[in-house]
A and B are shown apart, each in its own frame.
Chain A
């Protein structure tokens, strides 16, 4: 789960990381009022779950409250990587002497959380890491002991030479590790970590991603989810316990299992079509899940044909058949439907479909070809 910069900053502040004050506005007027309270030049920053905000025009300086108002008005109209900006963070502008990067991510290869630090922070950190890997220090953390003081110092010496700054940075790194590990993070990042002309070390930005598997045991963190900043259909899918990602094609896909769902999308493309979505109804499916899945898919006006691909293992195909029948009775389909199912209780499923005027195929390739043909307006093969 992504959280916003201002939410990550609130978490980091609790652990003592020095972060300049800031307030959130949803309207230009609120942004103006906040800028007036700060009484200085401010930065207005889009709060949106996408990287590259600065390059998209979502981060701007405002010299006075009137300018903060007009800039906030501009930013609140932006859509960054498909996501509309609903909130801005207004924070006093800082004088910057240097910009560094520090972050923690769970690394598959190391099978641990790994710290990364670079003195060359800022918006091009990905490029720094790719082109000059010697400028990025990676340090895996033993989860039994956490980030020890000497390790934090090692990382800090890689960033700074001034002893006061080294100590300040080492403290921030230990605080960041605690914020990460005690809140179920899969990523925690400060970019940039800046030094001011007065020599202080301050976190100007904050990013945190929470492992979805942690949310059940951390209700306070789960409550940070901002549904208004997500695709509406994806929110609905999550509530129905479906994994759904909207794409731009016209063949709606409903599949059980992530791997099979991806393979189904790939086959749609292979046979000349474009998938409209990724949708995994998961393992132990019940008919209501199928009803919800069909409602979400039919809500997309681009969808010209719907393809079910169900391989029953834990999933009972008769449950899926019942779900399809119920959904169609509630809401008759306006686009053609292709059903492929095989596996657990297949005979019962086929009987249920037949009684309701539907038919099922058993071969995945044939079903995909048929769905693609129907979506492109051709005749079914």
Chain B
């Protein structure tokens, strides 16, 4: 088992003929993901790599292929529209990889997607992978291995680092989810923790946060109140100077809320194991799963 995606995932790629879209589509197919179609307006009727049918619109692609998930690689000015088009076509799970989506666009996209009952992951996220079953997005497949631990993270490469260290220590994963670091994103820590709690094969969860906002603090309270499975966490940005932007729009410290120290304290108070270094996640997991 896994969360959000599995071997039954039938994936659509919006922006399949673009530079990033085509590269990662090949990688996803190679990993074993069922890519059932692509969307690029004006290229309907063509085939990607001679195999995957391309459509002009998402609605058409859904009715022809029965896609149940879509991944978006279109450039930032068009990303909001792509997310809304996917939701309007009734796709239940939408993953937006695109980095640089204006936040005011997201204030419109978020309620639009929600009202149509779809789940959005991202934007500005690496996507997710259920090792051995399906990969949607850009997480390198070979650093992952099948196993009992769920992972949710706000970061990209830091996620790879932690997964890599887990895999080296022979701790496999059910699903690794990158929720992205933007101020407004579709899926948050609590959504993923809730799904991992319900997933029969997940026995422990890793949560990787960073400075800015209060999502990790709320997630920590959720762990104490709603979860039976052990959760361990790491927070990046302990040395970040206050008030300076650190690359992610989300990583802004506002007032006292959102420092690494504050988040680590919330972890501690709510029974989430605190890793001081990324490598400590491995030891904490071993202890928690004993």
Contacts and interface: CB of A to CB of B under 8 A. Distances in A.
Interface of A: 106, 108-109, 111-113, 126, 130, 143-144, 181, 184-186, 211-214, 216-217, 243, 245, 247, 255-263, 265-270, 275, 278, 280, 283-284, 311-315, 342-344, 364-365
A313 B246 contact: no
B183 interface: yes
A267 B76 CA distance: 33
B236 to A, nearest CB: 4
Interface string B230-260: 0000101111110011111111000100001
Given A217-B77, A364-B161, A262 B210 contact: yes
A46 to B, nearest CB: 18
Contacts, number: 158
Which of A126, A213, A267, A283 gathers the greatest number of chain B CB atoms within 10 Å? A213
Contacts of A283: 99, 156
Contacts of B44: none
B102 A266 contact: no
B104 A211 contact: yes
A270 B276 contact: yes
A172 B215 CA distance: 33
Contact of A216 (B77, B211, B260): B77
Contact of B104 (A106, A126, A216, A344): A106
A211 B102 contact: yes
Given A108-B250, A258-B247, A269 B238 contact: yes
A348 B267 CA distance: 41
Tell which of A108, A243, A278 has the most Cβ of chain B within 10 Å. Answer: A108
A106 B183 contact: yes
A217 to B, nearest CB: 6
Contact of B158 (A181, A257, A268): A257
A177 to B, nearest CB: 12
Given A211-B102, A311-B160, A364-B161, A263 B278 contact: yes
Interface residues of B, number: 59
Contacts of A342: 164
A283 B260 CA distance: 24
Nearest to B241: A247
Given A108-B213, A184-B102, A258 B160 contact: no
Interface in B75-93: 76-77
A327 to B, nearest CB: 21
A166 B245 CA distance: 37
Contacts of B126: 313
B192 interface: no
Contacts of B211: 262
A263 B279 contact: no
Contact of B183 (A108, A268, A270, A284): A108
A216 B101 CA distance: 11
Given A260-B155, A343-B160, A243 B239 contact: no
Contacts of B279: 364-365
B104 A214 contact: yes
A114 to B, nearest CB: 10
B246 A262 contact: yes
B234 to A, nearest CB: 8
A213 B157 contact: no
Looking at chain A's contact residues, is the secondary structure mostly helix, strand, loop, or mixed?
Answer: mixed
Nearest to B156: A257
A265 B240 contact: yes
B222 interface: no
Given A216-B76, A313-B156, A343-B160, A186 B246 contact: no
B181 interface: yes
Contacts of B108: 143-144
25 contacts: A106-B103, A106-B107, A106-B184, A108-B214, A111-B106, A112-B107, A130-B255, A144-B111, A211-B103, A213-B103, A216-B76, A255-B157, A258-B181, A259-B153, A259-B157, A261-B247, A262-B210, A262-B240, A263-B236, A263-B278, A278-B247, A283-B99, A311-B157, A364-B278, A364-B279
A373 to B, nearest CB: 17
A193 to B, nearest CB: 21
Contact of B164 (A245, A261, A311, A314): A311
A259 B102 contact: no
B161 A184 contact: no
A275 B244 CA distance: 15
Contact of A259 (B104, B110, B111, B210): B210
A143 B107 contact: yes
Contacts of A186: 103
B277 A313 contact: no
Nearest to A142: B111
Given A111-B184, A343-B140, A365-B277, A259 B155 contact: yes
Contacts of A262: 158, 210-211, 236-240, 246, 251
B161 A263 contact: yes
A245 B246 contact: yes
Given A214-B102, A216-B76, A280-B247, 8 more contacts: A106-B103, A111-B107, A111-B184, A265-B239, A275-B239, A283-B99, A311-B164, A312-B140
Rank and list the top 5 A-B pairs by shortest CB-CB distance, nearest first: A259-B155, A257-B157, A258-B247, A259-B158, A262-B236
Given A263-B158, A313-B157, A213 B100 contact: yes
